Structure 1
């Protein structure tokens, strides 16, 4: 018999995370109810918790969790191509799941309104573990950044940040045939992971001069008297404002800079330099359905060992400890919470 309530992690105010007992929402004809098996903690979840909500505290607590996989429990009579017992991952965008809507993946059940197979709900192979399937969302963010960069196999690419998104970008670049991949991060363990996944070089700006090292790796040139490094594309998955300005100063003419990171504050950029060098600044957020499906295919085929991205695992009863661990970015990459793997 179905429960009438569910536990749901919600942010009430800054650094106030609670496990709330909530009534199950009513299923209508176009909806699907998902029993959540696993949900990953994203950096944005930590940001929302710190701020007390999407943009700060509000009258309505914020439901957390958008990186999740599970099993369909029920479907409405208007839903096509989906059925109870089907193993799935959910594209959270349509329903703002874990992003301002009433639903969040850190819950025993999630209601997906206007459920559509291949759009906001995607079947996964039976052999794919739920915790790996839950990586579909962040790896799709990474893949979209790669696609926005319009790379070719000959591109010389620099990635700022070796968190899960940055490491996912390494994976995406390799799948697009790119081999000249430089990853920049201050944590040596993450740089080692980047090399393991296919980065050709790594730079720790805490101990190396970023510009000088890139000049050695990618070559140098000048235009209008500006000394430049010959990197073709920079993909920012770090969100460090000073680093972005440094990139504008040192990059070559025609460089493309793709912003995948979430900046919490406005950043000052020398727009004269952007104009003079004809720099392309490109934003990247979320993912279309075909990229989501491409990542599921990659995970299902086991093309890359993505299990190494998951550094810590917790049961749902220890969700508070899981979030505490996720805040320790010196040791944690992806912290995965097991909710009900059946």
Structure 2
């Protein structure tokens, strides 16, 4: 079969490899859709990731159809549709340094256990939507880290795929009012379509004053100057220095800032000025327990999740899809589909 691999710094190729075979404790999955993540471009630039530098199989956002089930495996049948936990694979994280990648026709789940390595989903859920499960788990982990709950007010910076996933998870948690902030009108329009209560274009509007209009004004705290919005939770899904800098300047006492975004440059922080705010700065990475927690919400609201997908490519155009996804501003969520 063919698989897309990083073959050197800045280089990806389609490589012929052996199709995997399921043993008595394994499940063979025919890949039907796989999303492209920003880390795929990062792996390519680095020439792979250890221990597979120069030969890194790509694709870690898969959904597929079960083609073979080992005699000792329970909880799944041939023909079932499944979402997959890439991090649980015993031969390394799928598409992120492991022996297998999901930009291929098949992967095998070794020593497969239902609820650990895979989860069966209803067949009416489109494979392209099911393949959002992995990045949406990243978004759900950020929301879980925030502690956001019923009746609170939240802000999401960045209306890309993770930001929209954060929005959907916040609403699933019962957060009262969610504002999405971005600089691209098209992304803001999509955020409203997905379910944002309001949006702000930070190029055209003053973020602090607009949030006070939307969330009300917080009581004054010792050492803080000027009116501040009563926002409880801020989530940085943008990864630019302007986001934490903005939050630090307007945050009310006791609010939380969660950062799932990858910041590629250092951000200067005046901790002295922040002291009386008692802000909680919380980092968020991956999905320690959320990979299948988010699946129920995707199943229940798959049409909203489908809006996150911006571009679709057939498997034979995976290299072109990767190039588009790596071009700044050219696409949001690119999905590769397999026949």
2:8/2:47 contact within 8 Å kept: yes
- How has the CA–CA distance of structure 1 residues 59 and 42 changed in structure 2, closer, same or farther, with 3 Å as cutoff? closer
Deviation track 1:230-287 (CA, whole Å, cap 9, x = no partner) reads 3211011111133213322321111111111123344332333444322112222333
Distance between the aligned counterparts of 1:124 and 1:220, measured in 2? 44
Q: Secondary structure in 2 aligned to 1:174? A: helix
Equivalent position to 1:94, from 88, 92, 97: 88
Distance between the aligned counterparts of 2:186 and 2:281, measured in 1? 30
TM-fit CA distance, 1:198: 1.8
The aligned residue for residue 39 of structure 1 is 34
The aligned residue for residue 75 of structure 1 is 69
Distance between the aligned counterparts of 1:269 and 1:14, measured in 2? 34
Could you state the TM-score of these two structures normalised by the residue count of structure 1?
Answer: 0.89
Structure 1: state its 5+ residue gaps: 1-5
Distance between the aligned counterparts of 1:140 and 1:256, measured in 2? 20
1:71/1:86 contact within 8 Å kept: yes
1:140/1:287 contact within 8 Å kept: yes
The aligned residue for residue 124 of structure 2 is 127
Answer yes or no: is 1:268 the counterpart of 2:268. Answer: yes
Deviates more, 1:277-286 or 1:325-334: 325-334
The aligned residue for residue 202 of structure 2 is 205
Answer yes or no: is 1:157 the counterpart of 2:116. Answer: no
The aligned residue for residue 65 of structure 1 is 59
- How has the CA–CA distance of structure 1 residues 79 and 267 changed in structure 2, closer, same or farther, with 3 Å as cutoff? farther
Deviation track 1:278-309 (CA, whole Å, cap 9, x = no partner) reads 211222233355x4434333333346432222
1:195/1:202 contact within 8 Å kept: yes
2:21/2:28 contact within 8 Å kept: no
The aligned residue for residue 284 of structure 2 is 284
Q: Secondary structure in 1 aligned to 2:129? A: helix
Distance between the aligned counterparts of 2:79 and 2:286, measured in 1? 27
Could you state the TM-score of these two structures normalised by the residue count of structure 2?
Answer: 0.90
Deviates more, 1:22-31 or 1:318-327: 22-31
Deviation track 1:203-251 (CA, whole Å, cap 9, x = no partner) reads 1222222233333333255433323433211011111133213322321
The aligned residue for residue 15 of structure 2 is 20
2:233/2:256 contact within 8 Å kept: yes
Distance between the aligned counterparts of 1:71 and 1:275, measured in 2? 52
Distance between the aligned counterparts of 1:178 and 1:265, measured in 2? 31
Structure 2: state its 5+ residue gaps: none
